[in-house]
Amino acid sequence: MTENADSILRSILSSISQVAESRDVETLLMQFSRMAHQLVPADRCTVWVHDKERNILWSRVADGINRIETSAEEGLVGYVLQNGDALIINNVYGDPRFNHEVDRKTGYQTKNMVSLPLKNSDGEILGVFQSVNKLNLVDFTEDDLKLLLFVTIYIGRELDAAILREELESTQREIIYTLAEAAEMRSNEMGNHVKRVSEYCRLIGELIGLSDKDKELIKVASPLHDLGKIAIPDSILLKPGRLTDEERILMNTHAELGYSMLKHSNRKAFKAAATIALQHHEKWDGTGYPHGLAGENIHIFGRISAVADVYDALANARCYKPAWETERVVALFKEERGKHFDPQIVDAFLNNQEMFHEINRKFTDVFILEKR
């Protein structure tokens, strides 16, 4: 082991820097299996994650195999999960605890394996790590176990953080959806507006090449763009005709109102939602509200949601206007290219109109309005 120390250290350091970059559970699992493989060359590594609700273990990292599930109580994995001991078994078929079922399902022939518990920093067992079939069919050793122990201590910590992060993100999505629906119910004009705007925003993000993270973020956050309308009186919000100047001034406060409801959160999704609420009525040429920002001083999420919001307002009926014909909608975007809207985003729309219509058809209002 000592003559290898340098190369081991180098591979640990390179793995750690990659792991630090990854945020989602699946990518982390992949990287751990690579890391383990570099330290202890084996044919296959499996990270089993314990799903407590269903009391099963699942894995996607058995290289080249799709997600597999197994009982949390059976087999060597089940034993390690329940007891928290690490095991080296060099002839698995000679061990009564070994569960043949997994080999049967995967068509794989397990010979020997090391199994270690994955613990979080509180010592709670999150799952099991297995290194299977040491290369050249030699036995696993105590030294292998020590190296893998290092990997699993590291995995446990990172995995716990990633699981918590994913739970947090999904909680945020739920809260945002609930809030957005509450706002939508108040202004019953809107039907599926919120859902559609969210989809157009993601689509535009795709078309103009936002990162995967930003596409997801704008999709999650944009349903709240009109949250401030909760505070607008019904007499204005639901008025069938044109607003008076006075009513208009009040209506326009919905942008800042939404922002002030959302701005206190430090969570990424809510910060993005606050920006979108504040800026979705700003215009590229600086004539929008509330701050008259222009060009790239308007956050890209604000510029995207402006196009998505107006497209949806025009393509569908509102309490104050009927739906417009497609030609009229397209004409408005051509006219407002570089005035109301970022030209780059208008082009993305003009060149891909069918994708927008598709979303509009898919989340049509009719249904929802009939229900109410």
**Which token pair is 146?**
């020590």
- Residue 52 makes CB contacts below 8 A (sequence gap 6+) with none
- 319 contacts which partner out of ligand SIN, Fe ion, ligand C2E, none, CB within 5 to 8 A by kind? ligand C2E
Closest to 239 (Cα-Cα) out of 320, 184, 313, 321: 320
Verify binding: residue 246, ligand C2E, rule CB under 6 A.
no
Verify binding: residue 281, ligand C2E, rule CB under 6 A.
yes
Q: 22-61: string of b/e by CB count within 10 Å (b at 16+)? A: beebeebbbbbbbbbbbbbebbbbbbbbbeeeeebbbbbb
- 214 contacts which partner out of ligand SIN, ligand C2E, Fe ion, none, CB within 5 to 8 A by kind? none
> Which lies closer to ligand C2E via its Cβ, residue 233 or residue 295?
233
Considering the complex, what minimum distance in angstroms separates the CB of residue 304 from Fe ion? Answer: 13
Verify binding: residue 226, Fe ion, rule CB under 5 A.
yes
**Which token pair is 251?**
């209506």
Helix axis angle for 245-252 and 254-262, nearest 10°, is 20
> Which lies closer to ligand SIN via its Cβ, residue 95 or residue 365?
95
Which bin fits 123, alpha (ψ -120 to 50), beta or left (φ > 0)? left
Which residue in the shown chain puts its C-beta closest to ligand SIN?
A: 75
Which bin fits 55, alpha (ψ -120 to 50), beta or left (φ > 0)? left
Q: How many angstroms separate the CA atoms of 246 and 252, rounded?
A: 10
Considering the complex, what minimum distance in angstroms separates the CB of residue 281 from ligand C2E? Answer: 5
Segment holding 330, helix H or strand E: helix 326-336
- Interface residues for ligand SIN in 134-173 (CB under 6 A)? 165, 168-169
The single residue among 37, 72, 75, 129 that binds ligand SIN, judged by CB under 6 A, is 75
- 251 contacts which partner out of ligand C2E, ligand SIN, Fe ion, none, CB within 5 to 8 A by kind? ligand C2E
Residues with a known catalytic role: 229
State the binding string over 99-138 for ligand SIN (x if CB under 6 A, else -): x--xx------x-------------------x-x------
The single residue among 43, 184, 199, 309 that binds Fe ion, judged by CB under 5 A, is 309
> Which lies closer to ligand SIN via its Cβ, residue 57 or residue 329?
57
Q: How big is the site for ligand C2E, counted in residues (CB under 6 A)?
A: 13
Residue count of the chain, please give it: 372
The single residue among 113, 313, 345, 359 that binds ligand C2E, judged by CB under 6 A, is 313
> Which residue do the tokens 């202004």 mark?
187
**Which token pair is 290?**
């509330």
Verify binding: residue 216, ligand SIN, rule CB under 6 A.
no
Helix axis angle for 212-221 and 268-279, nearest 10°, is 70
- 165 contacts which partner out of ligand C2E, ligand SIN, Fe ion, none, CB within 5 to 8 A by kind? ligand SIN
> Which lies closer to ligand C2E via its Cβ, residue 62 or residue 314?
314
> Which lies closer to ligand C2E via its Cβ, residue 99 or residue 187?
187
Considering the complex, what minimum distance in angstroms separates the CB of residue 358 from Fe ion? Answer: 20
110 residue type, one letter? T
- Interface residues for ligand SIN in 218-277 (CB under 6 A)? 267-269
In the β-sheet with 56-59, what is the strand arrangement from edge to edge?
68-71, 56-59, 42-51, 125-134, 113-119, 87-89
Q: How many angstroms separate the CA atoms of 58 and 69, rounded?
A: 4
Q: Which stretch binds ligand C2E (CB under 6 A): 26-34, 132-140, 166-174, 319-327?
A: 319-327
| Cβ atoms 116, 93 nearer than 8 A | no
State the residues that interact with ligand SIN by CB under 6 A.
46, 75-77, 98-99, 102-103, 110, 130, 132, 165, 168-169, 267-269
State the residues that interact with ligand C2E by CB under 6 A.
239, 242-243, 251, 281, 309-310, 313-314, 318-321
